[in-house]
Chains A and B, each alone.
Chain A
Amino acid sequence: MERQFTEEIRSLRLGEGETFHGEGILAVTKALLQSGVSYVGGYQGAPVSHLLDVMVQAREYMDELGVHVEACTNEASAAAMLGASINYPVRGAVTWKSIVGTNVASDALSYLSTAGVMGGAMIIAGEDYGEGASVALERTHAVAMKSSLWMFDPRPNLPSIVRAVEKGFELSEASNSPVIVDLRIRACHVHGHFRATSNRPAAMSKRHPAQGPAPFNYDRLSHPPATFRQEKLKAEVRLPAARRFVAEHKLNEVFPGDLDDIGIIVQGGLYNNLLRSLSMLGAAELFGASRVPILALNVVYPLVPEEIVGFCAAKRAVIVLEEGQPEFIEQEIATILRRQDVQTRLHGKDLMLMAGEYSAEVLVGGLAKFLAQHAPQFDTSGGAKWLAKVADTRKRATELLGGLPPRPPGFCIGCPERPVFAALKLAERDTGRPHISGDIGCHAFATFEPFSMGNSILGYGMSLASSAGVGPMMAGRPLAIMGDGGFWHNGLLSGVASNMLNKGDAVLVVMKNGYASATGTQELISSPPKEARDSTGASASHADRTIENALSGLGVGWVKTVHTYHVAEMQRTLTEALTTDYKGLKVIVADGECQLERQRRVKPENARKLSAGERLVKVKYGVDEDTCTGDHSCIRLSGCPTLTVKDNPDPLRTDPVATVIDGCVGCGLCGENAHAATLCPSFYRAEVIQNPNAWDRLASGVRDSFKGLFA
């Protein structure tokens, strides 16, 4: 795993009255333990990876508490895990990145919420929306509504987040419905503190197992005819119970203000940005006092009609601040007000942007319009001046700077996936450019320069399935690229099995790097065995054959495993797969261990050897500056961060020459590329022998004197 959570694990043990310091998602983890969960599961992904990662690393303590932790293979299996709370009075939580994870989970979620739960069932969803988002931008809210899942969007401070988790379990139990705690990216990573309470071991858990299964009860099955009754229960019992609980426990908060004939209804998660925006308009101060009354919805679904009417009735106008589209909350409020014949003017997306994050700038713009219309006596010119100043600064900056080179994320130094795309770029010279179905994972960085490869991305593990319709109408074969993470997440079934069933003729490249790397190098079923990782510094991913075995088990007849750094061999294999007469699925398993994981073992081991005086060969690649002509074709085939350019030392040349800077891990791709593409003779491999032995020194001395003869 990418990160060590030693410190964080310690803070999970904090007791009553002690202060927890740390990031939001770890506060959630602590809150789960304080709530007495019996089981936790999930699928990793920013911004919630840490929740699961820390629990996996804290396995010992979890065993002590009796909490079962499951690293699920996808969100569907995580959602199904919540089924434990249908028949047993146990609390459980699962986590994933949303909207994508929620989509994958939604089948199980429908059945879960239809059956209803006995013990508290919770989904911690990392709402991957706005700046830094890496997935399709859609709202989890839609799934909450259609499946009757109650949804928290707490104010982004640790006490509010922790309260949402703790109250969430109670709400789930009071209404027999699963609950989502939705956290935005920055809320997951916000660093703050809260007063901890003691962790509560569950009454029923793996430490205190049940003596037998629950009695047979058809009503707990999401199966007709029970489903008809369950649908009624949702509307007639569970929803009202949930509303009652939200109101009784005052989960939503009203902040009064003196401009009390207007008001703002805001998703809890946006509260802090709203406060900052109001203070830019001169309508709020730092400690939360606002001149405009605010209703902060810590629970965004369901709304409590009485609360909405109570807040709006005496007001001339309210504005709903709700990020993303469509405006579900605003629509629900409109319905509530209309049904009760409340004549308060309702604003929202008419004054605000439909799409995009609600930054302070966006909020100030919208609120200024709202205030101008409904509180004209209030001076908002401060906000307008600020916006004008910002626009002016940006304009000046653009004049002074011109266009800037973009810097998207990319493959790490020494990444084993980079060589595959170098090989593909070379193969394309012979085969022509194939239709490339991309996927989710590190390999999606190949869509950026210098590779610019990929025609579509349809979701995690979907690349092969997404080429099913393309292949038959294409002269050449399409190529699907998938990581091992995506392969196990669902690519094996929706891609490989489907292609086999339909006797497809596609080409699939599976990046076998050994881990779910993009999300933080979590373990997979095909992660290299411990022994392989303990031995040397070499790539360990070849030591596991689960992917190859699974493919042959499914009857795939053309499977070739190629070590990714062998660029020429990879190029030949790609060309063969794209052009062979063989009809049927062709899979290239691109084998090369994730360099992050490899370096995590190699670096400390090398440091140890070095300080212990043991012989150590350090490898670094380099470019001879006097034979490099500065054409940078090597860079167009690589994009490695350590293969870069520098001023040309030759006074007669102006274009920069290529150079390999510190940080090179000696993966050898530059040399392999130079060979495979017949690029140039400038690359060299330097092996520095540290702590040399007597033989090294003698041999080196002899060689130097020999070369001296020709100097």
Chain B
Amino acid sequence: MSLPDRTITILVAALGGEGGGVMADWLIEAAAQSGFPAQSTSIPGVAQRTGATTYYLEIYAAKRDQLGGREPVMSLTPSPGNVDVMVASELVEAARAMQNGYVSPDRTTLIASTHRIYATMEKMQMGDGRFDSDRATNAAKQLAKHAALFDMRELAQANGTVINAVLFGAMAGSGALPLAREACEAAIRKGGRGAEASLRGFAAGFEIAAGTHATPEPAAKRLPPVMQEILDLGVARLKDYQGEAYANLFMQRVRSLGTNDAKLVGETARHLAVWMSYEDIIRVADLKTRASRFERVRQEAGAKPGEPVVVIDYLKPGVEELASLLPPSMGRSLVSWAEKNGKLDAYNIGMHVKTSGMFGFLMTRSLAWLKPWRPHSYRYAEEQQLIERWLGHVRDAAKRSVPLALEIAECARIMKGYGDTHRRGKANFLAIMDALMENPATADPDEQAKSIRKAREAALADPEGKALSADLGRPADASKPVIWLSKST
């Protein structure tokens, strides 16, 4: 019998705590069960602390007793173009493997879970900094000889096990391993603790990769709502927020745009509805004391039926929150006094409110009962004024150019958050409004739209406002964070 002239190479890209080391042990054991020489290495290092890490294995698919005492010389490092099975426990790690050249069309079976674990860089953005998953799955389909892509984390959870078991099953099921299913299962059994759950996870992964079970359909993506839906949602939201009249005001404002462009009307209405339902203390108190909220917390906390759940809210109202409830003139003087004396954040009272308890609930709920007072409050007056000003710019721009009006409408997105974050967002918004909407450097609507988009993106990407300052031609803080370079660059 002729011997194979090369080893089967397996590269595993995992994140800390996913049991990558255990999976490497299973593979070595399964190879041993089959009588095949095998070797594994890894780079754990500090990567065990939540970072990306890799395991590399080679298996020689011939019985050791046929080798006449010879030992195959196996490599300790993976080389691009020479990987038979690329395993990634997360989608961007699969993408990273592709970018490093470890997935080649003539050789590599790619086994990857499609779920995402967002990197800090993605989630710390003010807006949406998430990597587009479709790019990764699309690349996988083009670059791999064969790709098994599905949400293995979900499958692991459903089977009460860790993702490594599902990944191992998918590897075995894909047919790319020279190991029989029985050998793999025996290896898991030998591992002992948690073997039953691991075997369930293994089977689930195996059957999908082998094609005996269908790939679970990913949850259908929600389509962005179209204009009419937005208007309906807006009306319902604002009715709930402040009643019929306020919802009518919303529709009035939408109609005042005086345009029929569905996209512009839709987008402006979307931002308008969100803005008009701004999160003041009354709104927060209302949302926090709804029955639906307590039910959601139970679910998120993983409480089983019959298990009581205590909910403690972290609230820290201060000068602004108080001012927002006062009549406009009083509120205005309080805020301007606080601003002048640097006292905006000086008197916040940190509270741990047990909202699930009777006292905490009553206290919070009573704030929600101030709803009828809201239209007489300082914050209400401020918000409505700024809304009108913004809406005016959208309206004026719509007459010149719809894309420009869209960019202006979109700027409402900058103002979010609470306290200091909200103040900074609002300052950025006002700066853009002042520099690029009210005093634009160009009369060309396309140029103006471009400058607004750029400034908005800068404000969202960099909430401390360094990039934005530079964009608006203001001196920026020179300090720039050191960006961590990936190995591939």
Contacts and interface: CB of A to CB of B under 8 A. Distances in A.
A700 B99 contact: no
Contacts of B124: 449-450, 632, 635-636, 639
Given A131-B77, A408-B51, A626-B287, 19 more contacts: A185-B45, A271-B73, A272-B76, A276-B79, A357-B77, A389-B104, A393-B143, A400-B135, A401-B139, A409-B49, A411-B49, A433-B479, A518-B46, A655-B127, A677-B420, A678-B348, A678-B418, A684-B311, A689-B308
Interface stretch (A86-94, A470-478, A554-562, A644-652): A644-652
Contacts of A696: 308
11 contacts: A190-B39, A359-B79, A394-B100, A396-B142, A620-B300, A622-B300, A629-B279, A677-B419, A677-B420, A681-B288, A681-B314
Nearest to A429: B420
B120 A185 contact: no
Interface stretch (B90-98, B252-260, B390-398): B90-98
Interface string B17-42: 00000001000100010000001111
Interface stretch (A197-205, A280-288, A576-584): A280-288
Contact of A652 (B7, B237, B421): B237
A229 interface: no
B383 interface: no
A525 interface: no
Contacts of A393: 80-81, 101, 103-105, 143
Which one of A407, A633, A636, A675 has the greatest number of beta carbons of chain B within 10 Å?
A407
Contact of B297 (A185, A357, A622): A622
B350 to A, nearest CB: 5
A249 interface: no
Interface stretch (B209-217, B357-365, B431-439): B357-365
A689 B310 contact: yes
Interface string B414-449: 001111111001000000000000000000000000
A680 interface: yes
Interface string A679-703: 1110111111110100011011011
Contact of A680 (B46, B95, B358, B418): B418
A404 B119 CA distance: 10
Given A276-B79, A706-B361, A639 B302 contact: no
A671 B484 CA distance: 28
Contacts of B420: 633, 677-679
A47 B76 contact: no
A515 B230 CA distance: 55
Q: Which 9 A-B pairs have the closest CB atoms?
A: A409-B51, A452-B481, A132-B43, A700-B308, A631-B417, A360-B79, A629-B416, A400-B139, A686-B301
Contacts of A398: 99
A517 to B, nearest CB: 9
A639 B300 CA distance: 20
B318 to A, nearest CB: 7
Interface in A244-293: 271-273, 275-276, 279-280, 285-288
Interface stretch (A58-66, A77-85, A440-448, A495-503): A440-448
Interface in A538-593: 568
Given A626-B287, A699-B308, A445 B119 contact: no
A483 interface: no
B122 A405 contact: yes
Contacts of A449: 120-121, 124, 481, 484
A404 B92 contact: yes
Contacts of A702: 358
Interface string B466-489: 000000000000010111111110
B376 interface: no
Contact of B5 (A286, A396, A629): A286
B302 A286 contact: no
B75 A360 contact: yes
Interface residues of A, number: 120
Interface in B365-414: 365, 413
Interface of B: 5-7, 15-16, 24, 28, 32, 39-52, 56, 60, 67, 70-77, 79-82, 92-93, 95-96, 98-101, 103-105, 117-131, 135-136, 138-139, 142-143, 222, 224-225, 229-230, 233-234, 237, 270, 273-274, 279, 283-284, 287-289, 291, 293-294, 296-298, 300-304, 306-316, 318, 345, 348, 350, 352, 355-358, 361, 365, 413, 416-422, 425, 463, 479, 481-488
A380 B45 CA distance: 36
A707 B291 contact: yes
B265 to A, nearest CB: 14
A397 B104 CA distance: 10
A677 B291 CA distance: 29
Nearest to A698: B308
A47 B45 contact: yes
A157 B129 CA distance: 45
A348 to B, nearest CB: 20
Contacts of B43: 131-132, 185-186, 189
A192 interface: yes
Interface string A347-376: 000000000010111000000000000000
A394 B104 CA distance: 9
A688 B5 contact: no
Contact of B40 (A191, A404, A636, A684): A191
A134 B46 contact: yes
A445 B49 contact: yes
Given A401-B135, A681-B315, A410 B49 contact: yes
Contact of A132 (B47, B294, B418, B421): B47
